[in-house]
Chain A
Amino acid sequence: MGKVVVVTSGKGGVGKTTSTAALGAAVAKTGKKVALVDFDVGLRNLDLIMGAERRVVFDLVNVIQGTAKLSQALIRDKRVDTLFLLPASQTRDKDALTEEGVGEVIDKLRSVFDYVFCDSPAGIERGAQLAMRFADEAVIVTNPEVSSVRDSDRIIGLLDARTMRAEQGEQIAKHVLVTRYDAGRAARGEMLSIDDVLEILSVPLLGIIPESQDVLRASNLGSPVTLSEPLNTAAKAYIDAARRLEGEDLPVVVPFERKGFLDRLLGRRAA
């Protein structure tokens, strides 16, 4: 039986979809069978980030409504052959999803794949709640900003209340993934520190992804950064996060600002 991981955040634009793609690709590269499921019905993006937008024929809503088989809707990645995508429908809205339907699809995926990553839509409404409903684990994507952290806290409350596991009295394993971390701004006290984020959320840290233009570029080129530029610092941080998700005990290093030769010469301080 595979593990179902929901990638969620509450707030929009923090990097849920990018992180889903990067983590999923990193796990799949280790040989595990991975399915990425886009739950953002009506505003789908995961297909673009994965570079599969021109291969979408059937989607999650078709599978739930029985107009397509799961095997027809799953798109195999061209770069990693253990990586699959189940796209969302762009022309429907979140009301097209039913709890029973989602449960059936997740059950089928769970029996075939080692990991099922559910890319949650932003918000705390129906779409987000269905994405987390059947999850075993949750990755909470947070930017080190106060608004994002508070929204994440709200989402953690929902994870502990509205998921199937929580209702059965079990715990859902939760991990915080801090994205868009800017070492320079953190040093100047312009964003929350990692300690502040963890103290507020009191959830273990999965990784810290530094703010990087390469991540955005990779997304726009339709390739997760962990596949296109695996040596990049952000990609490495994602790969480490994926290894921690699989249970490996790796220490997390807080990114620091690299000082250039000139900075050092002039004695410029970061703080």
Chain B
Amino acid sequence: MTFAAPLEAKSIRFRARSFVAFTLTPEAPMVEWLQGLDHWIGNSPGYFAGRPVLLDLNVLKPRPSEIAALVTELGTRGIRIYAIELEGASLGPELPPLLVGAKEATTDGLLPGRKGQDEVSGKPEGKAEGRAPDHRMDARTDAASVAKGKAGASKTDESEPQVSHYDSGTLMIKAPIRSGQAIMHPHGDVIVLGSVASGSEIVAAGSIHVYGTLRGRASAGALGNTGARIFCRRNEAELLSVDGWYITAEEMEGVSRGKPVQAFLDGEGLRVETLS
């Protein structure tokens, strides 16, 4: 007995998408890099859970056998690699696919009006000031040709008190940011006129200006803008991060605490300097 499948002209949905993923760039020596990674995961458990992570091996340039070991090693830490970047490599079917043509995400690269982007999580990544590079992650867009963005406002948790967009790029918040609130702004600068409480978080593609005391976490240039800076009238921050390079409260020297500061990248890492 045969069945004739009803022939319906069903078009296949086939679209290009672009979205933001995190890129891990391992560097030799591997033992130390993995220790650094473990330390990082210890501080932020569950950070990688359910997130697509790219493995950029262009710095490490490992042998094919080492790649499998590395992917397994990361797998045991709950990090799922969904593609590998390595120029000129050919990977076996047991490994995640090779990715070509990836670009770093920048604010310019994001299409205007592409708001509420797929999980642009700008949690702190990278490394601390004044140490040899151990690990660094950046958010990148795996840009396929057409970007289909979702329209919507910048994502914030719970409330967004008295917020106004001055021009297309800048988000101004006229009320204090309370503990537990998270401000995500993937299009430009964030200006906060009040204080930013301990236990809150600001993530911006551009710079962050806080005209009160910064006690929470601030991540500027979260989509890969090395020129972004963080300014605050009084630095009591839990964490400052620019383009994935971060520094925690513990690592900030005593001189920059309680003072007006700016944080920026100077080619070697993140610097926190007092504003005179």
Contacts and interface: CB of A to CB of B under 8 A. Distances in A.
A199 B179 CA distance: 14
Interface stretch (A36-44, A53-61, A158-166, A211-219): A158-166
Max count, chain A CB within 10 A of own CB: residue among B175, B178, B198: B178
A162 B159 CA distance: 8
A153 B158 contact: no
A36 B238 CA distance: 40
Sort chain A's interface into a size bin.
10 to 19
A223 B199 CA distance: 38
Given A154-B180, A157-B180, A160-B178, A202 B159 contact: no
A200 interface: yes
Nearest to A10: B179
Nearest to A202: B176
B190 interface: no
A156 B178 contact: yes
* Majority secondary structure, B binding face: loop
A230 B58 CA distance: 76
Nearest to B198: A150
Nearest to B160: A161
Contacts of B159: 157, 160-162, 166
Max count, chain A CB within 10 A of own CB: residue among B179, B181, B195, B213: B179
Interface string A126-161: 000000000000000000000000110110111011
Interface in A152-183: 153-154, 156-158, 160-162, 166
A82 to B, nearest CB: 36
B195 A150 contact: no
B197 interface: yes
Max count, chain A CB within 10 A of own CB: residue among B175, B197, B215: B197
Interface string B34-60: 000000000000000000000000000
Contacts of A199: 195, 213
Interface residues of B, number: 16
Contact of B158 (A151, A162, A202): A162
Contacts of A202: 176, 194-195
A151 B199 CA distance: 9
Contact of A150 (B161, B175, B179): B179
A160 B161 contact: yes
Interface in B158-179: 158-159, 161, 175-176, 178-179
Interface string B184-196: 0000000000110
Max count, chain B CB within 10 A of own CB: residue among A124, A153, A156, A166: A153
A154 B176 contact: no
Contacts of B181: 157
A158 B179 contact: no
Contacts of B213: 199-200
A158 B197 contact: no
B51 to A, nearest CB: 26
A154 B178 contact: yes
Nearest to B159: A161
Contacts of A153: 178-179, 197-199
A125 to B, nearest CB: 13
Interface in A178-213: 199-200, 202
A79 B157 CA distance: 46
Contacts of A161: 158-159
Contacts of A156: 178
A156 B194 CA distance: 14
A156 B213 CA distance: 17
A200 B158 contact: no
A199 B197 CA distance: 10
Nearest to A151: B179
Interface in B119-162: 158-159, 161
Interface in B182-237: 194-195, 197-199, 213, 215
A168 B175 CA distance: 17
B34 to A, nearest CB: 34
Interface of A: 124, 150-151, 153-154, 156-158, 160-162, 166, 199-200, 202
Given A150-B198, A153-B178, 6 more contacts: A154-B199, A158-B158, A160-B175, A162-B159, A199-B213, A200-B198
Q: Lowest 7 A-B CB distances belong to which pairs?
A: A157-B178, A161-B159, A153-B179, A161-B158, A154-B179, A154-B180, A153-B197
9 contacts: A124-B180, A153-B179, A154-B178, A156-B178, A157-B178, A160-B161, A199-B213, A202-B176, A202-B195
